[in-house]
Amino acid sequence: MSSQETPRRPTIADVARQAGVATSTASVVFSGKANVATATRERVLKAAAELGYAGPDPRAASLRRGRSGIVAVVLEGHLRAAFLDPVTTAMMDGLTDGLADLSAGILLMRDESGEEGPAIADAPVDAFVLIGCSGRTKASLEVVLGRGLPVVVIEGDAGETVPRITLDNTEAAAQVARHVRDLGHQDVALVTLPLDSERERLPVTPERVANATIDVAVHRLSGTRQVFPDAPAISASGSLIDEGVLVGRMLLADAEKRPTAIIAQSDLLAVGVIRAAEELGLRVPEDLSVAGFDGIAVDGLSDLTLTTSVQPAVEKGRAAGEQIARMLRGEPAVTQHLTCVFRAGTTTARAPR
Amino acid sequence: MSSQETPRRPTIADVARQAGVATSTASVVFSGKANVATATRERVLKAAAELGYAGPDPRAASLRRGRSGIVAVVLEGHLRAAFLDPVTTAMMDGLTDGLADLSAGILLMRDESGEEGPAIADAPVDAFVLIGCSGRTKASLEVVLGRGLPVVVIEGDAGETVPRITLDNTEAAAQVARHVRDLGHQDVALVTLPLDSERERLPVTPERVANATIDVAVHRLSGTRQVFPDAPAISASGSLIDEGVLVGRMLLADAEKRPTAIIAQSDLLAVGVIRAAEELGLRVPEDLSVAGFDGIAVDGLSDLTLTTSVQPAVEKGRAAGEQIARMLRGEPAVTQHLTCVFRAGTTTARAPR
DNA sequence: TTGTAGGCGTTATCAG
DNA sequence: CTGATAACGCCTACAA
């Protein structure tokens, strides 16, 4: 009789049978939802060990419970690019915290325009976090809303009905600009984040701003322009140190009409600008003041402290996680507006005269 | 009669009823597994639209199919730290490629010692990729193997039975060292990666090496020591530019017995060392030769090209993804040994005499 | 081409 | 505290 072939994995029913209890009892032993007599529990555990049963199949449990314990994070563009950005990683960090109560996992997805993998349309997740909702991401939002799953949008233009996490980019940028102005600077140049998916390294023109799709860049720019309406600006092709170096060189090339201060829309860009300045033998901040945005810990800027606006990157993630948690509990989610904090560093000083 | 309250989401059965077809037919319409008369399909789709049915519930589908379409990636330590490392991000990139055939999602997890979230023990995933299997990660490996799921370990000490992706760290490091030796250097100092989870910035002693838990550091060190058995070494507390600066200062502090070359175990550390040298007014490579490891594109090293060993970071990820794909197809997976390629750059030169 | 039936492995409910 | 039973929502032979 021992010739029965059973290559299939044991189920909780097998365990229960082996232990001489009901499946429901065995189930409770594993879920811990109710009290079980110690003797019974031991019997079940022993049976499980004998059969090599490693606990309930999560897929079946998901179906039954209606929850998979996974939250999808939809990023724009290649995953690699996303993780190159310290702000994004910090945010992910906060997200894991905010989701901690749910002890939910994070499923990474990019919002590919959809031709190939079904991906976001049928991922077994309980909720979605969309990051930077611009253009194509809106299509993703449609799909998600169609599925009727909870969704939170971080720093994206998603409409009033969707709970969002927003930042006071405009005001924070204005604050940085005021600091620079108060130091006496009048010749100021700007380095912006990419304005659209083209990501071209180009002078910023009113037309380009009008057609821009990346809100963060537009908002920060408008804040800065409140103070320096006519400051020349160049858009970087990404938030990278090397980009900052390239744009910095462009802005500092002409020794005649060199600005006395450069305001960048990200700390990485600012560091690049500083490096470009050093290349040219300019001292920061004596000859050139440089300000950034984000307030991340930039690796490789040994001694200087960057003047910047510190954005609550971790907090953004945490807030999103908390809203998701609320929605999954059936409570209404709310849009949360977070604010940046200005930090005066050692990279800005009074304008040389 | 319209007073019926149905707050529950429609199922495929509801759609089928509404369309006047069998559930199986409706199912096929969505899965596309078989041919359906165009008219019928349209009817089903219309019914779905009317009911607001957004496609099959992925949880139910997973159970039925026995696949969730998700692969877990287990990282050591905080996600933030993991993604600060360019090698890791590159690897993730490759992984997404390698997994592309499966159009599987990537579930990020950290291998926390387990007290809290069930996490890895019951995530609804089809397979696992463990990265850097040191110490606590081994516990994770146990759990995964217990679940009987396919698993691949990248650069970790997991035993012969587990398919792994490995790197010839020892030989590659030896190669870098030989290059430096062939340039005539005799006073050489080393900067290693952290040796253990303590991550202390300390001189490397034989005792510390004996107790080291991070294989990568040990292997690279042993390769270098094949050529420079007595070179003094300091372990960094992480693979960061700023760490390289700190350790660089330590190694270069004493102008009397300053090394003529420094070999770092990562490119980021090497860049830091270069920066430390510049601070001291040393020219690289004229006064000091510096070599790294990894061959990543370091953001912010404008003109120099680092002498280094280029590791196939992206390929590591892709290889892991491919092995996972094979295992899920039922084919046997194999351990894959990848090799680094030495690259002579402009940061090393003949030893000054 | 379409319909019917059974089960994937759990867990919630409720009765004992 | 334990046990029986009914879903959870879908997929896939197999039959018509």
* Cβ B214 vs Cβ B223: under 8 Å: no
In a domain, B84, yes or no: yes
8 Å CB contact of B124 and A62: yes
Q: How far is the CA of B24 from the C1' of D9 (A)?
A: 12
Are B181 and B234 found together in one domain? yes
* Cβ B109 vs Cβ A69: under 8 Å: no
Are A51 and A68 found together in one domain? no
Are A157 and A199 found together in one domain? no
In a domain, A347, yes or no: no
For residues B245 and A291, give the distance between their C-alpha atoms in angstroms, rounded to a whole number: 23
- Name the residue among B271, B337, B313, B265 with its Cα closest to residue B98: B313
Pairwise pLDDT comparison (A159 vs A194), residue with the higher score:
A194
A118: confidence class by pLDDT, cuts 50, 70, 90: low
Are A23 and A48 found together in one domain? yes
**Closest nucleotide over all strands to A63 (CA to C1'):** D8
8 Å CB contact of B148 and A124: no
Q: How far is CA B298 from the centre of its chain?
A: 17
A154 strand-pairing partners: A131, A165
8 Å CB contact of B63 and A68: no
8 Å CB contact of B93 and A103: no
CATH assignment of the domain containing B50: 1.10.260.40
Identify which of A63, A93, A108 has the shortest CB distance to residue B105: A108
User: pLDDT (tens digit, 9 = 90+) per residue, B71-81?
Assistant: 999 887 666 67
Kindly tell me if the per-residue pLDDT of B290 is higher than 60.
Answer: yes
- Tell me the nearest-neighbour CA distance from B175 into chain A, angstroms: 28
User: Among the three residues B38, B55, B72, which one is the final residue of a domain in this structure?
Assistant: B55
Are A209 and A225 found together in one domain? yes
For residues B120 and B140, give the distance between their C-alpha atoms in angstroms, rounded to a whole number: 7
Mean pLDDT, residues A224-228 taken together: 98
Identify which of A52, A58, A109 has the shortest CB distance to residue B105: A109
* Contact residues on chain A for B63, CB-CB shorter than 8 A: 57, 59-60, 62-63
Residues 53-82 of A with CB under 7 A from strand C: 53, 55-57, 60-61, 63-65
Collapsing DSSP states into helix, strand and coil, what is residue A236?
coil
Interface size A-B, in CB pairs within 8 Å, comes to 157
**How confident is the model at residue A289, as a pLDDT?**
98
DSSP string, B215-231: HHHHHHHHHHHHH-TT-
Kindly tell me if the per-residue pLDDT of B6 is higher than 50.
Answer: no
Are A180 and A217 found together in one domain? yes
Kindly tell me if the per-residue pLDDT of A312 is higher than 50.
Answer: yes
pLDDT-wise least confident of B87-101, B129-143, B238-252, B330-344: B129-143
Give pTM, 2 decimals. Answer: 0.82
In a domain, B269, yes or no: yes
**How confident is the model at residue B301, as a pLDDT?**
67
Are B173 and B306 found together in one domain? yes
List strand residue ranges (DSSP E) for chain B, in order: 70-75, 105-110, 127-131, 151-154, 164-167, 188-192, 202-203, 233-235, 261-264, 289-291, 308-310, 336-338, 341-343
Residues 90-149 of B with CB under 7 A from strand D: none
Q: Tell the residue number behind the tokens 């996303």, with chain if given.
A: A82
In a domain, B183, yes or no: yes
* Contact residues on chain B for A268, CB-CB shorter than 8 A: 299
User: pLDDT (tens digit, 9 = 90+) per residue, B30-54?
Assistant: 887 777 788 888 888 888 888 888 8
User: pLDDT (tens digit, 9 = 90+) per residue, B102-144?
Assistant: 777 888 887 765 444 457 888 899 999 998 756 667 778 888 8
**How confident is the model at residue A36, as a pLDDT?**
81
Are B79 and B143 found together in one domain? yes
CATH assignment of the domain containing A275: 3.40.50.2300
Kindly tell me if the per-residue pLDDT of A2 is higher than 70.
Answer: no
In a domain, B349, yes or no: no
In a domain, B352, yes or no: no
Are A269 and A147 found together in one domain? no
Are B4 and B46 found together in one domain? yes
**How confident is the model at residue B133, as a pLDDT?**
57
**Domain tally for chain A?**
3
The residue range of the domain holding A49 is: 1-55
Residue of B nearest to A109 (CA): B105
In a domain, B346, yes or no: no
Are B162 and B178 found together in one domain? no
Q: How far is the CA of B28 from the C1' of C2 (A)?
A: 11
- pLDDT over 90 percentage in chain B: 49
> In chain A, how many H helices and how many E strands?
13, 13
Kindly tell me if the per-residue pLDDT of A299 is higher than 70.
Answer: no
Kindly tell me if the per-residue pLDDT of B313 is higher than 60.
Answer: yes
For residues A305 and A286, give the distance between their C-alpha atoms in angstroms, rounded to a whole number: 14
Q: Which residues contact B17 (CB under 8 A, 6 or more apart)?
A: none
In a domain, A348, yes or no: no
User: Among the three residues B22, B38, B55, which one is the final residue of a domain in this structure?
Assistant: B55
Residues 29-48 of A with CB under 7 A from strand C: 30-31, 33
Q: Would you say the C-beta of A186 is within 7 Å of strand D?
A: no
Q: Would you say the C-beta of B352 is within 7 Å of strand C?
A: no
Count CB atoms within 10 A of the CB of residue A162. 18
Are A68 and A161 found together in one domain? yes
> Which token pair is A133?
């909702």
